[in-house]
Chains A and B, each alone.
Chain A
Amino acid sequence: MDQGMKMLLTGFDLLLALTLLWLAWQLLRSTDIFKAIIFFICFGLLMSLAWVRMHAPDVALAEAAIGTGLTGPLFLAALRRIERKAGKNMMSEPAGNGEETGSRWKARNREMSPLLWTVTALTCCLAGLLIWTVLIIPRPLPGLADQVAGSLAESGVNNPVTAVLLNFRGYDTLLEVMVLLLGAITVWSITHAPFPPRVPDTSPVQKAAVRLLLPLICLIGGYLVWQGAYQTGGAFQGGAVLSAALVLLLISDFLWLPGMRSLPLRLGLTLGPLVFVLLAGFGILVEKTLLRLPVEYAGPLLLFLEAACGLSIGLTLAAFFAGGRPASDLRETPYSGEAKGKGPAES
């Protein structure tokens, strides 16, 4: 690589780092939460650019699809729910005593100045300490790249990141899939989804576009899962693309969705964890070790596992976006804090 190219790349790195810091600062201090969320989405997209610069395309894809493509809409949906509730209150109540609804979380910034200064000083100290630590670490740092490259042939896949995720460190991924399932269970226990999603009139253009796009999105998701075996891609990225399709369905107000029975959803949510646990048990039976796969069958088994996990991850992320269990699933009236003539639980 010649000198000019190197300088250009260094300049690009510098610019990217400064932009990331500026965006983070803006998103944390702008007064409007909506603006902050938009800044966050831009921040995530630039983060995925940084991942590409560090030769981590798998992480870049995951960041763009999950970290930004899904977290942004999650925040926007939550913001709308919070603001709608607050707004409804303000309309139904006479003005003048709204001291608690909207303004409760407005910054009481000016009056706690000494405390604020202390926190700022402590944070600056922490930053200085951390940066100093990074600068005195002896380089190059030790890594596991050689070991991974050495045993890649036994893993059944050619992509080192997929090999680490699903074979060498399968235990981490098993726990991660369990965390996802636990998250879905928590969300479903706390609240029910506000179905039908309050989209008053979806435009026909949007509906037609979703109809056309949906098969294509599913195809891309499946392809990402498939190509995880030998290049960038995998269950997480594929699942995230699948969840994007489901989110599109949710916001386009397709009527069959709210009335959907929850049993298929539950089965889909648990399919990935179930297959993973079965595979772990299979490892104990055949190879006498948890999660170790026989070398000759590792490839097909991992593909099967990835497909199941991709489906479950897609459904879980979409369930997060829906923000609760399907309304058709309710056997009792949802908890409403204030029992207005309704019994709290009529099963």
Chain B
Amino acid sequence: MTTILYSVTGLLLFVFGLFALIVCPHPLRKILGGNVMSAGIFLFLVAASYRADTGEIDAVPQAMVLTGIVVSVCITAVALVLSTRLQQAADQGARRRRKRRREEDAGE
């Protein structure tokens, strides 16, 4: 019962994250969606290996999830730095375009 409940929760979290990743335009929201997706997968992985009847734990999926959490933080950090640079470059481009427009207006 516990296993199925948490497995289904994990899958729904995965689907929510995927939906946000596709639909939301803001990059930070996309990265948040990716994080929710990975949380769902981790939850599913550990819930699938959990035996509620014996209370016995399987260390292999837990170690994999531990690895996954660290890797997902790593990916998040790189994605955040990239999106910050993207915003910076886009703003500079917009500023340059506006400046050019103003110069053209002044020239006429």
Residues of chain A contacted by B57 (CB below 8 angstroms): 55-56, 145, 160
| Cβ A176 vs Cβ B67 within 8 A | yes
B13 cross-chain contacts in A, Cβ below 8 A: 20-21, 24
The number of chain A residues with a CB under 8 A from chain B is 97
B100 interface contact, C-beta 8 A: no
Interface contact B46-A51, CB-CB below 8 Å: yes
Closest to B71 in A: A179
Query: What is the 8 Å Cβ interface bit string for chain B, positions 8-51, against chain A (1 contact, 0 not)?
Result: 11011111111110111111110111011001001110111111
The reply on B106 being an interface residue by CB < 8 A is: no
Residue from A51, A104, A127, A169 in contact with B63 in the complex, judged by beta carbons closer than 8 Å? A169
Check A161/B62 contact, CB under 8 A, given A55-B50, A67-B73, A183-B77.
yes
Interface contact A120-B46, CB-CB below 8 Å:
no
For A320, the chain B residues whose CB sits under 8 A away are 73-74, 77
- Residues in B with CB closer than 8 Å to A93 are 95, 98
Interface of B is mostly: helix
Q: How far is the CB of A225 from chain B (nearest CB, A)?
A: 14
Question: By the criterion CB–CB under 8 Å, are A74 and B80 in contact?
Answer: yes
A177 to chain B minimum Cβ distance, whole angstroms, is 9
For A109, the closest partner residue in chain B by CB is: B23
B70 close to A338 (CB less than 8 A): no
Name the B residues within 8 Å of A50 (CB-CB).
Answer: 6, 9, 43
- Cβ–Cβ < 8 Å partners of B50 in chain A: 54-56
B55 close to A (CB within 8 Å): yes
Chain A nearest CB from B86 CB (Å) reads 9
Query: Which residue of chain B has its CB nearest to the CB of A36?
Result: B32
A89 near B96 with CB under 8 A, answer no
Give CA–CA (A163, B48) in the complex, Å.
Answer: 21
Chain A residues with Cβ below 8 Å from B11 are 127, 130-131, 134
With A40-B32, A160-B59, A161-B59 known as contacts, the answer to whether A10 contacts B43 (CB < 8 A) is: no
Asked if A82 is at the interface (CB within 8 A of a chain B CB), the reply is yes
Rounded to whole angstroms, the CA-CA distance of A123 and B66 in the bound complex is: 28
Known contacts A74-B73, A161-B59, A180-B74; 15 additional CB pairs below 8 A are A21-B9, A28-B19, A33-B29, A36-B28, A59-B46, A63-B69, A66-B70, A101-B94, A134-B11, A135-B4, A141-B48, A143-B58, A160-B57, A164-B60, A179-B74
**Could you list 21 examples of A-B contacts with CB < 8 Å?**
A21-B9, A21-B13, A33-B29, A36-B29, A56-B46, A56-B50, A59-B65, A62-B66, A75-B32, A85-B87, A100-B90, A100-B94, A126-B18, A131-B8, A134-B4, A148-B58, A165-B66, A190-B81, A320-B73, A320-B74, A323-B84
